[in-house]
């Protein structure tokens, strides 16, 4: 009995030491699926400079990532969201002290050479093509992924732009069997021909070298001068709990990140954050891969920015 107790205690201490040693140089990142390609390149680049560091990258819809923290009490060192409001609405101030906006993007419609009617689709007829019963399109879930609720915004704005009453509801009622948790889950369906079109970010189609239809600025959520126009539409999604709901208004696309309060390796996360925001580090990759930089950023409403990152603040 005494020997068994000794073995249990020894295993407890050894496992504690093992966890401490293995985690001390590990950075766990929860991130939007649309950042999978650039974050892999950026973390690989950081690792070449810091070979002792390892990364654990977990991709999901940004809302799902946030709920890993709020609902499941999971720990991560950084959270990169496709929408800064996910951090503001779900994490600040209980789970995070700040949010750092770093880039923007645009919504587009992706397709493949074998997509039905792809040879004739354009900025004037795409709504009719997507409504065609023989055509299928995919979108991500608004309750888990910002690209999902941004697709709803795009359709609502398109209804205004083209003057087609009921357009948004008609399209949102169609092809719901092709709704997925995050937009990049739809790429395989497009490549195999299971769907003809999908709503996705411009950066993702560029990274995967897909065919795509650009959308007018009045619709694509990529023009900051049209912020007031975008705010004329809204969508209701699940809030902080399953019984709670949250209304989100349309606005220009802004990606952001934070370091949660309970980050296991906050100092190492801060080192990586500085590299990520630098012109010669992460932001070089972000811009090369199709997004527009917001660095230096306006810190108004961003909370308590760590002193090490204030060098990236506009007019600091």
CATH of the domain at 223: 3.40.190.10
Looking at the structure, do residues 112 and 81 belong to the same domain, yes or no?
Answer: no
Rounded distance between C-alpha atoms, residue 302 and residue 147, angstroms: 22
pLDDT recorded at residue 2: 46
pLDDT digits (tens, 9 = 90+) for 173-190: 999 999 999 999 999 999
- Structural domain including 49 reads 2-104+254-312
Q: Is the pLDDT of residue 5 over 50?
A: no
Between the CA of residue 36 and those of 30, 61, 94, 235, 301, what are the distances in Å? 10, 11, 27, 26, 27
Instruction: Specify the number of domains making up the chain.
Output: 2
pLDDT digits (tens, 9 = 90+) for 217-271: 999 999 999 999 999 999 999 876 667 888 999 999 999 999 999 999 999 999 9
Q: CA angle, corner 37, sides to 34 and 38, nearest 5?
A: 95
Q: Does the predicted model carry a pTM greater than 0.75?
A: yes
- Select from 249, 273, 303 the last residue of a domain: 249
What is the number of other CB atoms lying within 10 angstroms of the CB of residue 72? 8
φ, ψ of residue 85 in degrees (nearest 5): -70, -25
pLDDT-derived band of residue 16, with 50, 70 and 90 as boundaries?
very low
Which two tokens mark 295? Answer: 């660095």
Percent of the chain at pLDDT above 70?
A: 91
Strands 137-140 and 54-60: unpaired
pLDDT recorded at residue 228: 98
pLDDT-derived band of residue 315, with 50, 70 and 90 as boundaries?
confident
Looking at the structure, do residues 120 and 220 belong to the same domain, yes or no?
Answer: yes
Which two tokens mark 8? Answer: 């249990």
Looking at the structure, do residues 242 and 111 belong to the same domain, yes or no?
Answer: yes
Place of tokens 């966890």: 19
Between the CA of residue 133 and those of 38, 116, 202, what are the distances in Å? 36, 11, 26
- Select from 194, 226, 249 the last residue of a domain: 249
Rounded distance between C-alpha atoms, residue 178 and residue 195, angstroms: 8
Rounded distance between C-alpha atoms, residue 213 and residue 198, angstroms: 10
Task: Answer whether 248's CB lies under 8 Å from 234's CB.
Answer: yes
Looking at the structure, do residues 8 and 64 belong to the same domain, yes or no?
Answer: yes
CA dihedral defined by 207, 208, 213, 218, rounded to 10 degrees? -40
Looking at the structure, do residues 33 and 135 belong to the same domain, yes or no?
Answer: no
Looking at the structure, do residues 86 and 208 belong to the same domain, yes or no?
Answer: no
Rounded distance between C-alpha atoms, residue 142 and residue 290, angstroms: 23
Looking at the structure, do residues 272 and 244 belong to the same domain, yes or no?
Answer: no
Which two tokens mark 95? Answer: 């789970």
Closest CA to 100 of 217, 269, 259, 218: 259
pLDDT digits (tens, 9 = 90+) for 126-148: 999 999 999 999 999 999 999 99
φ, ψ of residue 137 in degrees (nearest 5): -135, 155
Looking at the structure, do residues 236 and 281 belong to the same domain, yes or no?
Answer: no
Name the average pLDDT for the chain: 92
Looking at the structure, do residues 129 and 201 belong to the same domain, yes or no?
Answer: yes
Looking at the structure, do residues 111 and 242 belong to the same domain, yes or no?
Answer: yes
Strands 26-32 and 78-81: parallel
pLDDT-derived band of residue 23, with 50, 70 and 90 as boundaries?
low
pLDDT recorded at residue 258: 98
Looking at the structure, do residues 79 and 128 belong to the same domain, yes or no?
Answer: no
- Select from 249, 273, 293 the last residue of a domain: 249
Looking at the structure, do residues 233 and 280 belong to the same domain, yes or no?
Answer: no
């Amino acid at each position: 009995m005494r020997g068994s107790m000794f073995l249990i205690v020894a295993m407890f201490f050894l496992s504690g030491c093992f966890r401490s040693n293995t985690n001390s140089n590990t950075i766990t990142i929860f991130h939007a699926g649309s950042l999978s390609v650039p974050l892999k390149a950026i973390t690989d680049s950081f690792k070449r400079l810091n070979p002792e560091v390892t990364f654990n990258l977990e991709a999901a819809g940004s809302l799902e990532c946030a709920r890993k923290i709020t609902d499941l009490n999971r720990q991560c060192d950084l959270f990169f969201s496709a929408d800064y409001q996910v951090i503001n609405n779900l994490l600040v101030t209980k789970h995070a002290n700040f949010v750092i906006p770093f880039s923007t993007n645009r919504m587009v419609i992706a397709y493949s050479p074998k997509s039905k009617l792809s040879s004739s689709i354009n900025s004037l007829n795409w709504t009719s093509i997507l409504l065609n019963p023989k055509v299928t399109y995919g979108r991500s879930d608004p309750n888990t992924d910002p690209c999902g609720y941004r697709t709803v915004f795009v359709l609502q704005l398109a209804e205004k732009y083209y003057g087609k009453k009921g357009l948004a509801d008609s399209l949102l009622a169609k092809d719901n069997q092709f709704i997925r948790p995050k937009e990049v889950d739809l790429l395989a369906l497009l490549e195999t021909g299971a769907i003809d079109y999908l709503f996705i970010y411009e950066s993702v189609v560029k990274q995967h070298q897909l065919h795509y239809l650009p959308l007018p600025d009045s619709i694509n959520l990529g023009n900051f001068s049209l912020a007031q126009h975008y705010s004329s539409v809204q969508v209701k999604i699940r809030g902080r709990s399953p019984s709670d709901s949250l209304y989100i208004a349309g606005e220009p696309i802004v990606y952001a990140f934070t370091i949660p309060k309970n980050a296991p390796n906050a100092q190492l996360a801060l080192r990586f954050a500085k590299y990520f925001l630098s012109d010669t580090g992460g932001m070089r990759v972000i811009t090369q891969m199709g997004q527009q930089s917001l660095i230096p950023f306006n810190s108004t409403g961003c909370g308590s920015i760590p002193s090490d990152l204030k060098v990236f603040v506009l007019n600091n």
